[in-house]
Amino acid sequence: MAFLGRRIAVWTAEIEGVLPDPGCCVSAAGESQLLDAIRQRAPGEPALTAFARFVLAPRGFLAAADEATATALMRITLLIGDSQPLLAREQQIVAAYTDSLARLLAEETRAGAKDLRPYVAANAMIGIHRALINLRAGATASG
**What are 13-70's pLDDT values in tens digits?**
444 443 333 344 455 667 888 899 999 999 999 999 999 998 888 777 667 778 888 7
**What are 126-135's pLDDT values in tens digits?**
998 888 777 7
CA dist., res. 45 & res. 57, Å (int) = 18
CA dist., res. 23 & res. 31, Å (int) = 7
What's this model's pTM, rounded to 2 decimal places? 0.71
